[in-house]
Amino acid sequence: MVAYCEISAFTGTPGAGNRAGVVLDAGGLSEGQMQALAAFLGVPETVFVTRWGDGTARVRYFTPTQEIDFCGHATVALGLRLAQEGRWAGEALVLETLVGRVPLRLEQDPAGECRVWMTQRAPQTRPVGREKRRELAAALGIDERMIHRGLPLACASTGLWSVFVPVIDRLVLDGMEPDLHELHRLSDALGVSSVYAYAPVGVGRFAARDFAPAVGIPEDPVTGSAGGALFALLAGEGALPLRAGRASGVVYQGHSLGTPGEVEVEVVMAGERVGEVRVGGRAVLEREGEWAPA
């Protein structure tokens, strides 16, 4: 039997945020068995720890339909589970992922509440052509005039590629009626995993929705990897206020699905370019169980 748990990340409230499966002892599982367990759990992503080392852990991430390179909310969920199980007390810990090494930091407040922070990989960006702007608007079910002209529309990644589409306000964001077939087609054409729509709601604060039918997720509730990439994109374009070479803020996501969550982000600049991208948040245990491999 394989022990697993489900943890909701980027929230402290059961039933909110984004749920992830966590398997701490997956060294004996084949790739097919990991995929089968991810499909059995049916949550957006499941993280498997396949090997432990001195201050390191090798991990793999699966959606219900396929393996992906990285997942932010599952990483936060994993950090919380390690702390709960007494396997991590805040010492240096680095995850070995398909996109490289991801350092984790454990933060505990005086009330005993934990936050898990991850340092994401260096950001990459790609432009999006004018014709794709029109197609993206149509696929999201909005008029092209609802796209925000003062914020960047581009592809970006700090571990997983998304195309970021800014809209003028949260009303437009909440009213979207996306065509998932078209979003899947556009994701494939742009070489991204998801279409991430975002709207400003305050200084350093954004609301977002993330559509990922290309990897088997119609709408992801709360997306840590994309939250980091969004802030890296905005900081690189000079669209965030800086204080002492840093930009920080919050992405609110999941409200449209009834599972609200908050992704905390900090970007550290290295001169005029983005240096480090750090993403953090809370998490809460939902349930535990065991699974019998075939």
Residue 78 CB neighbours (<10 A): 31
Phi and psi torsions of 258, nearest 5°: 75, 20
Strands 45-52, 56-62: pairing kind = antiparallel
Active-site residue flag, 45: yes
Give dist(CA 99, CA 120) in Å, integer: 9
List the catalytic residue out of 6, 45, 262, 276.
45
Name, in order, each residue with C-beta under 8 angstroms of 171's C-beta and a sequence gap of 6 or more.
Answer: none
Burial class, 292, CB count within 10 angstroms (exposed 0-12 / middle 13-18 / buried 19+): exposed
What does R_g of the chain's alpha carbons equal in angstroms?
18
Q: What are the catalytic residues? A: 45
